Structure 1
Amino acid sequence: MIPIPPFEELAAEIRHALDPVAFARERCAFQPDPWQERVLGSRRKRILMNCTRQAGKTTVTAILALHTALYRPGCLILLFSKGERQSTELLLKIQTLIATMVRPPGMLKDAATEVRLKNGSRIVSLPGDGDSIRGYSAPVLIVEDEAAFVTDALFESFAPMLATSNGRLVLMSTPNGKRGHFHSLWTSLRPNWQRESITAHQCPRISAEYLDEMRHDFGPWKFRQEFECAFVEADDQFFSDVAIQRAFTRSVPLLPLVF
């Protein structure tokens, strides 16, 4: 017979299941920033995170994925990125959380590309190629890391996988110019997406001295993109994005033909 846990432990388990923020603080020893609390506590199906480097987007997404795996037994969670290294880094963050958390869950598999819990949930990291997603269906959560650098073709191939599961889709990245699905979704007026942005100036763990150094080393264009969440045109770009878009307009009148 399985022993009944103490009342306090049972109450904590219920609280953590209902409140991912409490789960982060009490089980993972992580104190989230206000924007991270909004992400963890969100009920939205679609979340965009446009964040500076070192803002903590990987950690908060790892906690979100772990909480989902723990409290939705038998679920599938997929982690995508541009390449295998980036996607396995996110999974490694989840594995580190499990190894250091209070009352860690039992695991059936702990590999470089997959974690499988005893409750049947799986977290799988996949590299950024279309062939890698074959054989997976109905995930309850898809996370796209460095989404601005992932091809639109890959995004278009895995997004429909959520149709039957009514699952969640989380995209996180620093900007990469005014191009691609991440930029399109961020700048669109579609209300179904929750948008969270944190610049380096808003992150309490990044000092003003460090930012002054990076501004000098990176230059204004690169600094705005990496640390200020700006979708900027490349500084060596001959034509602006606006000029390129105008070049493809259908409103240009046809010239008359003279014979």
Structure 2
Amino acid sequence: MREALLYPRADCLVFCPTMRQSMEMLRKVRALGEPVRVIADTKTLIELENGSRVICLPDSQEGVVGFSAPRLVVINERSRVSDELYKSARPMLAVSKGQLLTLSTPFGNAGWFFDIWDDSAEGLKRRAKLHEPWQRTAMRASRIPRITPEFLEDERAELGERWFQQEYFLRFLDPIDAVFSQAVIHGVRSERIEALFDLGA
């Protein structure tokens, strides 16, 4: 809402895993107030008199196509949306130099959200190639005043240590149903292996 208010004719796109979550997110945006007159208000869009729009959409490549030069793209619950959505949203920012903001708890240790937080040698090397590196902010549940230590103790007991660490303490863990850990998979990769035969042109 801040971007839409301060910058006329700004498109601000908010993506969530599902349409229901997208509509819920727009309700939260509305709750911030509307000092500029609203000229259109639907379940998925707020358009202001200054020409700016806040548009909430579900995880869908089709939903991305058609938007050009947004000022802000927000991907909520990133660990639960597809990599395809992320890769489809990035090109929209090429001309506008708009911002991409993402927020989420971890959900496994693969995909582009994990890549942002991967501090292994491989992850650091990958991020060092970026002209504009990600600005990362970690907020563990124990640092949030409205979440009590008693609640966290109960959650640890109810969810189990693995799920608790992922959901409340930002740990990127192997999926519980994984046959091989990501560390094993990365350990067997090599760029020095020569092909057994030439596939030809």
Q: Kindly report which structure 2 residues correspond to 1:10-21, keeping only aligned pairs within 5 A, or say none.
A: none
**Contiguous gaps of at least 5 residues in structure 1:** 1-65
Cα deviation digits, residues 167-205 of structure 1 (max 9, x gap): 001011000111111111222443621110111111111
Matched, 1:113 2:44: yes
The match for 1:139 is 70
Partner of 1:178: 109
Q: TM-score, normalised by structure 2?
A: 0.86
The correspondence for 1:208, drawn from 149, 164, 185, is 149
Q: Quote the Cα distance in structure 1 between the aligned partners of 2:162 and 2:78.
A: 20
Q: Could you tell me which residue of structure 1 aligns to residue 199 of structure 2? A: none
User: Given that residues 201 and 208 in structure 1 are in contact (C-alpha distance below 8 angstroms), is that contact kept between their aligned partners in structure 2?
Assistant: yes
Q: For the residues of structure 1 that align with 2:52 and 2:187, how far apart are their CA atoms? A: 49
Instruction: Indicate whether 1:239 and 2:180 are aligned.
Output: yes
Residues 1:92 and 2:27 aligned together:
yes
In structure 1, how many angstroms separate the alpha carbons of the residues matched to 2:56 and 2:139?
A: 25
The equivalent residue for 1:30 is: none
| Aligned match of 2:159 | 218
Which residue identity is paired with 2:169? Answer: E
Q: Is the contact made by 2:59 and 2:85 (CA closer than 8 Å) also made in structure 1?
A: yes
Distance in structure 1 (CA, Å) of the matches to 2:61 and 2:71: 19
Match of 1:227 in 2: 168
In 2: Cα distance, 1:82 partner to 1:248 partner: 32
Length-normalised TM-score, structure 1: 0.67
Check conservation: 1:200, 1:227, Cα contact below 8 A.
yes
Kept in 2, the 8 Å contact 1:86–1:145? The answer is no
What is the CA distance between 1:250 and its match in structure 2?
A: 4.2
RMSD between superposed Cα atoms in Å: 1.8
Q: Please list the CA deviations of residues 123-170 of structure 1 after superposition, one character each: whole Å capped at 9, or x if unmatched.
A: 101111111122211101000001111111111011110001010010
Which amino acid in structure 2 is aligned with residue 109 of structure 1?
Answer: A
4+ runs of 1 displaced by more than 4 Å?
Answer: 250-255
The CA distance in 2 between the partners of 1:192 and 1:119, in whole Å, is 32
Contact 2:79 2:104 in 1 (8 A): yes
Question: Does residue 198 of the first structure (1) align with residue 133 of the second (2)?
Answer: no
Q: Which has the higher contact order (CA 8 A, sep 6+)?
A: 1
CA-CA distance at 1:249 after TM superposition: 3.2
Q: Which has the larger radius of gyration?
A: 1
Aligned residue pairs: how many? 186
CA drift at 1:235: 3.6
- The amino acid of 1:76's aligned partner reads D
